[in-house]
Amino acid sequence: MSEQFTDPTCIFCKMVSGEIAVKPLFENSHAIVISDINPQAPVHALAIPKRHVPSFAALSANDADILTSVMFAAAEFARSQGLDASGYRLNINHGVDGGQTVGHLHVHILGGRKMTWPPG
Ligand code: AMP
Ligand code: ZN
């Protein structure tokens, strides 16, 4: 299990705590969904655990409830946007090669346009 519950220097923790004001697009027990500040698709949001988990790679079996909440938040948000029929992409970046730039686990939800493969 990740040791820290919150990291005072983490921008996503500040959003969860309310130190940085943000209106979640969706919320459940362990996760919130926020708009990405630099959208790469007509719909681009981030599903974020309320607890500070530095990365996907930091998850352990004890974090199953957190991971479930994050993934269900992504699914329910996508459904609320009417994306179930057209499709969408979920993306998790880990580490330098994965292109992770914020050190708090987040699942990108991208939709509203046709995605390309492979990703860059
Ligand atoms: P990643 O590169 O996978 O770590 O993704 C980080 C994402 O967080 C990027 O898509 C950024 O545009 C987004 N981001 C960074 N700062 C903010 C912020 N203050 N509010 C919303 N999204 C943000
Ligand atoms: Zn954090």
- Report the nearest atom of ligand 1 relative to the CA of 98: 3
Is the bond preceding residue 118 a cis peptide, omega within 30 degrees? yes
Q: Which atom of ligand 1 lies nearest, measured to the CA of 91?
A: 3
pLDDT mean over 10-39: 97
Domain annotation covers residue 80:
yes
Q: The domain containing residue 63 runs over which residues?
A: 11-111
pLDDT value of position 120: 87
* DSSP string for the chain: --S-S--TT-HHHHHHHTSS----SEE-SSEEEEE-SS-SSSEEEEEEESS----GGG--GGGHHHHHHHHHHHHHHHHHTTHHHH-EEEE---HHHHT--SSS--EEEEESSPPPSS--
Q: Is 39 a residue whose pLDDT tops 60?
A: yes
In a domain, 6, yes or no: no
Number of structural domains in the chain: 1
Neighbours of 85 (CB within 10 A): 6
d(CA 79, CA 81): 5
CATH number at residue 34: 3.30.428.10
Q: Render pLDDT for 53-84 as a digit per residue (tens, 0 to 9).
A: 999 999 999 999 999 999 999 999 999 999 99
pLDDT of 4:
64
Which pLDDT does position 110 carry in this prediction?
98
Residues labelled as active-site residues? 106
For a pLDDT cut of 90, what percent of the chain falls above it? Answer: 95
3: in domain: no
* For residue 105, pLDDT beyond 50: yes
